[in-house]
Structure 1
Amino acid sequence: MTLQQLEYILALDKTRHFVRAAEMCSVTQPTLSTMVQKLEDELGCLIFDRSVQPIEPTEAGKQILQQAQIILFNIRQLKEHVVSMKGGLTGSLSLAMIPTVAPYLLPKFIAAFKKNYPEISLQVTELRTETIIEKLNSAEIDMAILATPLNNSKILEVPLYYEKFVAYISPGDPIYCKQELTPNDMPTENLWVLEEGHCLRNQVLNFCDHKVHTSSIEAGSIDTLVKIVDINCGYTIIPELHIDFLTEEQKKNLRPIVRPEATREISMIIRHDYVREGLMNAVADSIKQVIPAHMLDERLKKFAIKL
């Protein structure tokens, strides 16, 4: 078994086509087919079912592919870790962010990271929490930034910052006259929320009235929620960093949430076998340039990340 063979089966899984997989690996199709066949012979089982088109992994093959992904992930880590020990920070970073963090963090983060670490090839994807966890477990991404805690023993969480929520209320809503809101002041009958699958939806419903009678129309972004409130009355809950996206007139519709304050923790998450400490600190340092200091985790302000 060779690392090259593992790369071949992963390419074949991605393309589900021998010719395209060979092109991806810069080898001929007969070479790739032969190497895949030799690996199957060595393992004593079929990795791919060739009787269907496009080809697909067998049940055993799915498990082999998952392990192959993790092995290559660790090999790549090892090579890049050795470089970092020699004083360099190079290689690649595959990073994911949830949709309710990315609009506020990602544009400035990319600029700061590329300026400070030009030798790192950065790939960022916007994904929901469930998908992020799946891709992290299968070693398809290196790390992610999302709302925590996850209560997942397979994942290590490093808190980055804490963000308050505020209410955005239509002037036509009965609670608009209040200068601040408690959870008891926020009935869900008039509440506009994100669609199922966004962790922010659950966070909002957890500190509002627990009777879930939300509007029948559910939005896919915070910006859409604000526009719905502007036109259709009612109210919504938005993250603190979204305030800068509002006009001065819209900011008049904001109300703080008190007793208790509504806050979310945003963390960097990695697999427990992740070893690139330097790259984690590169991400953290770039985030410290983007997020206001009062929001940052106190430990992140004072200490470097240690694995």
Structure 2
Amino acid sequence: MTLQQLEYIVALDKTRHFVRAAEMCSVTQPTLSTMVQKLEDELGCPVFNRAVQPIEPTEAGKLIIQQAQIVLFNIRQLKENVVSQKNGLTGSLMLAMIPTVAPYLLPGFISVFRRDYPDIALQVTELRTETIIQKLHDAEIDMAILATPLDDPKILEVPLYYEKFIAYISPNEPIYNKEELTLAEMPTENLWILEEGHCLRNQVLNFCDHKVQTSTIEAGSIDTLVKIVDINEGYTVIPELHINFLSEEQKKNLRNIVRPEATREISMIIRQDYVREGLMNAVANSVKQLIPTHMLDERLKKFAIKL
């Protein structure tokens, strides 16, 4: 078994096509086919079902490919760590962010990170939490920034900052006349929320009444929620960093949530076997330049990340 063979089956799983996989690996199709067959012979089981089109992994093949991805992930870390020890931070970073963080962090992050770490090839993807966790388990990404805690023993969480939730209320709602809202005062109807699959939806429902009767339409973005409230009345809950996206007129519709204050923890997450400490600090240092100081985790303000 060779690393090349592992690369071939991972490429074949991604493309589900021998010719395209061979092109991805810069080898001929017969070479790739032969090497995959030799790996299957060595393992004593087929990795791919060739009787269907496009080809697909067998049940055993899915586990083999998953392990191959992890092996290649660790090999890439090893190589990049050695180079970084000699030449400073180099290599690549595959980073994911959830959709309710990306609009506020990602544009500035790309600019700051590329400026400060020009030798790191940055690739960022916007994904929902469930997908991020799976890709991290499968070693398809290096790290991610999302809301925590996750309570996943295979994942290490490093808190970056804490963000308040703010109520955004139509002037026609009775609670609009309050200067601030307690959780008990938040109505159980006319609440507009994100659609299924967004972690922010779950966070909102967790600090609201669990029996909340929400409006029938659920939006796909915070910006859409705000526009729905502007036109259709009701209210929604938005993260603190979205305030900068509002007009001065819209900011009049904001009310703080108190007793208790509703917040979310935003963290960088990695696999337990991740070893590139320098790259983690590069991400954290970039975030620190973009997030207001009062929101940053106190440990992040004072200390470098140590694995």
2:240 corresponds to which letter in structure 1? E
User: Where does residue 197 of structure 2 map in the other structure?
Assistant: 197
What is the distance in 1 between the residues matched to 2:211 and 2:139? 39
In the TM superposition, 1:124-203 aligns within 5 A as: 124-203=124-203
How many Å apart are 1:187 and its aligned residue? 1.5
Separation in structure 1 between the aligned mates of residue 87 and residue 296 of structure 2, nearest angstrom: 28
Matched, 1:279 2:301: no
TM-score (norm 2): 0.99
Alignment match, 2:21: 21
Aligned residues: 307
Distance apart, 1:209 and its partner CA: 2.4
Q: Residue 164 of structure 1: SS of its match in structure 2?
A: strand
**2:111 counterpart residue number:** 111
- TM-superposition CA deviations, 1:128-165 (whole Å, max 9, x none): 10000000000000000000011111100000000001
Q: Which residue does the alignment assign to 1:79?
A: 79
Shift of 1:212: 2.1
Measure the CA separation in 2 of the matches of 1:262 and 1:87: 44
SS at match of 2:161: strand
Question: Identity over the aligned pairs, expressed in percent?
Answer: 85
The letter for the 1-side match of 2:61 is G
- In the alignment, what sits opposite 1:91? 91
Q: Which amino acid aligns with 1:219?
A: A
* Aligned twin of 1:50: 50
Write the deviation string for residues 84-135 of structure 1: whole angstroms up to 9, x where unpaired: 2225110000000000000000000100000000000000000010000000
Post-superposition CA distance 1:40-65 (Å, at most 9, x none): 11111100111111111111111100
Q: Could you list the per-position Cα deviations for residues 200-221 of structure 1 after superposition, in whole angstroms to 9, with x for gaps in the alignment?
A: 1111111122322001100000
TM-score for both structures, normalised by structure 1: 0.99
Unpaired segments of 5 or more residues in structure 1? none
Code of the residue aligned with 2:148 in structure 1: it is T
Residue by residue, what CA displacement relative to the aligned partner does 1:26-52 show, whole Å, maximum 9, x if unpaired?
A: 111111111101111111110011111
Residue in 2 that maps onto 1:10: 10
1:249 and 2:256 matched: no
* 2:82 maps to amino acid: V
Instruction: State the distance in 2 between where 1:152 and 1:19 align.
Output: 38
Distance 2:210 2:62 in 1: 41
Provide the aligned C-alpha RMSD in A. 0.7
- Pick which of 239-248 and 24-33 moved more: 24-33
Once structures 1 and 2 are overlaid, which stretch shifts more, 216-225 or 83-92? 83-92
Aligned equivalent of 1:306: 306
